[in-house]
């Protein structure tokens, strides 16, 4: 059973001010699940998008807004979020500290489809 230490996980910027650390993925040997950590600096966002699979998240630090099909929803540390497959969602850090969330998908190589 692999153990991935945070210091060894490659971090990449996926949007301005948004970094992704994703160790459990196809490239590490997973064939059925993806697990990662996103960090959003104050004022940064992951624009609205969809995935062809469910997206589950837990906010472990910070506060912000969740973009949904309706009005934005306030989120903060401890919130558990579920975006069903093909549902519009996105996140913005509206706080003064980094917003950190853990996410998982029941698939690998999941496509992010940007929407308005």
Distance CA 100, CA 75 (A): 11
Handedness of CA 32, 51, 11, 77 (dihedral sign): negative
In this predicted structure, the answer to whether residue 112 has a pLDDT above a threshold of 90 is no
Query: What phi-psi label fits residue 29: left (phi over 0), alpha (psi between -120 and 50 degrees) or beta?
Result: left
The domains of the chain are located at 17-91
CB 46 within 8 A of CB 90: yes
CB 83 within 8 A of CB 111: no
Which has more pLDDT, 107 or 10? 10
Distance CA 68, CA 80 (A): 14
Superfamily of domain 17-91 in the CATH hierarchy: Jelly Rolls (2.60.120.10)
42-83 pLDDT per residue, tens: 999 999 999 999 999 999 999 999 999 889 999 999 999 999
Structure tokens at 70: 């309706």
Q: What is the pTM of this model?
A: 0.90
Residues 24-33: what's their mean pLDDT?
Answer: 90
From 36, 11, 39, select the one nearest 26 (Cα to Cα): 36
């Amino acid at each position: 059973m692999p153990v991935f230490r945070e210091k060894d996980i490659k971090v990449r910027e996926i949007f301005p001010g948004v970094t992704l650390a994703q160790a459990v993925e196809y490239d590490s040997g997973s064939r059925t699940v993806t697990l990662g950590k996103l960090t959003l600096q104050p004022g940064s966002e992951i624009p609205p998008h969809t995935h062809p699979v469910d997206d589950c998240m837990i906010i472990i630090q910070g506060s912000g807004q969740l973009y949904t099909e309706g009005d934005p929803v306030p989120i903060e540390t401890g919130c558990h979020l579920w975006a069903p497959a093909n549902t519009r969602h996105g996140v913005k850090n509206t706080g003064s500290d980094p917003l950190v969330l853990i996410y998982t998908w029941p698939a690998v190589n999941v496509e992010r489809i940007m929407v308005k």
